[in-house]
Amino acid sequence: MDLSFKHQFSLVCVILLFPVLCNCKESRVSYYDTSDGYGNSGGACGFGDYGKTVNDGSVTAVSSKLWKNGEGCGACYQVRCKIAQLCDHNGANVVVTDYGEGDRTDFIMSPRAFSKLGRGTVTSEKLKKYGTLDIEYQRVPCTYKGNIIVYQINESSNNPNYFAINIVYVGGTYDVTAVEIWEREQHEWVAMHRSYGAVFDFANPPEGEIKLRFQLSKNIEARHVVSRFPIPASWKAGDTYFTNILYY
């Protein structure tokens, strides 16, 4: 997956003082190896190459608790390890692109992400020798130029017979828990199927323009938002759309 904005993405978060203002949770973190230090293009979220390079490759796989059957894809976290003489005070800011279970870990990071846990190059290498570290973490907002949802037509799509999208970016601290498509003939919203990770699909989509509605959830709050602009009838695999919906 090659998105035009992939190199422009920046993870912006409010860095809170530890531990006074941090509503953190305790866990453990490990890392996986890649040849270039970036993420894995085959991640379970279905992001493809975008999953390697988003957030400058500081990405992570998460446990089922944070994965939430794919709803956790694209979430942003601040993670800090606890060895005072080695660990950076602000830790690493990471984006969820994959699912992975380890030895009581909630995070399995790319090498680039894991290295940011340390105070510098030398200390980061020392941390790697531990393999697994105790951490504290918190969910932080993802921010991309005010757009709350960015999605791409999945490469498996085939106009007009099969329609699938990848939710590649969600602003704030919201999860996309459902996507619906407008059926003009029935005059109603119909749920798309979560195929896997952040991929939603729909067989035999409506002819012409396609209108989508997203259900966003945070804690116990949930609401529906509709993209201002419909997808044109000429849609094709690989097209990327910015919803221009703002809700925080």
144: helix, coil or strand?
Answer: coil
Rounded mean pLDDT of 145-166? 91
Pairing of the two strands 59-62 and 133-140? unpaired
Give the containing element (helix H, strand E) for 125.
Answer: helix 121-130
Taking the domains of the chain in order of start, what are their residue ranges? 25-140, 149-242
Sign of CA dihedral 130, 131, 132, 134: positive
Fold of 149-242: Immunoglobulin-like (2.60.40)
Amino acid 15: pLDDT:
42
pLDDT above 70: residue 100: yes
Mean pLDDT of the chain: 90
> Hey, what CATH class is 25-140 in?
mainly beta
Instruction: Give percent of the chain with pLDDT exceeding 70.
Output: 88
Amino acid 202: pLDDT:
98
Amino acid 210: pLDDT:
98
pLDDT above 60: residue 217: yes
User: Is the Cβ–Cβ distance between 152 and 166 less than 8 Å?
Assistant: yes
pLDDT above 80: residue 147: no
Q: Shortest CA distance to 169 belongs to which of 12, 64, 32?
A: 12
Q: Which residue has the higher pLDDT, 19 or 232?
A: 232
pLDDT above 60: residue 89: yes
pLDDT above 70: residue 48: yes
How many CB atoms lie under 10 A from the CB of residue 244? 12
- The tens digit of pLDDT for each residue in 111-132 reads 999 999 999 999 999 999 999 9
Put simply, whether the predicted model's pTM sits higher than 0.85 gets the answer yes
pLDDT above 80: residue 247: no
Q: Which residue has the higher pLDDT, 41 or 17?
A: 41
Query: What span, in angstroms and rounded, lies between the C-alpha atoms of 141 and 75?
Result: 8
